Amino acid sequence: MTKFVAPGIHLLIDFWDAQHLQDIAHIETALRQAAAACGATVLGVHLHSFGEGAGITGVAVLAESHISIHTWPEIDYVALDVFMCGATDPHKAVPVLRDCFEPAKMRITEHLRGATARQ
């Protein structure tokens, strides 16, 4: 029997010429606001700063999967992932994150994780 299984929607979000990439408090707020916009529950936010002038890396662990962030302020670039399952809608994170980081250019790709017919 073949079943179609799609546990989650995963958005890979790249922002170029973005702002606030060294501001850890701003980033935590952005992740929490993005999760809330999607209807997701935050289990924990774990961020690490590499120091003055350097990037910030980390994740919001969600009951519905995760939002990750890795910033490269030296090239004004940030890589975000929004991976959510259940009744949440990860697309609702996009305008929130865009407002928070003000990119001049962005790219988003969507991946249906687990979305393959099983035998």
| Interaction residues for a copy of itself, span 40-79 (CB under 8 A) | 43-44, 46, 48, 50, 57-59, 61-63, 65-66, 68, 70, 72, 75, 77, 79
Which residues in 74-83 are b (16+ Cβ under 10 Å) and which e?
eebbbebbbb
| Interaction residues for a copy of itself, span 78-97 (CB under 8 A) | 79, 81, 83, 85
Structure tokens at 3: 């079943």
For 17-64, strand residue ranges (E) read: 42-49, 56-62
Task: Count Cβ atoms within 10 A of the Cβ of residue 87 and give its class: 0-12 exposed, 13-18 middle, 19 or more buried.
Answer: exposed
Residue 68 is a catalytic residue = no
Using CB under 8 A as the criterion, which residues of the chain lie in contact with a copy of itself when the complex forms? Answer: 3, 5, 7-8, 10, 12, 14, 16-17, 43-44, 46, 48, 50, 57-59, 61-63, 65-66, 68, 70, 72, 75, 77, 79, 81, 83, 85, 105, 107, 109, 111, 113-114, 116, 118-119
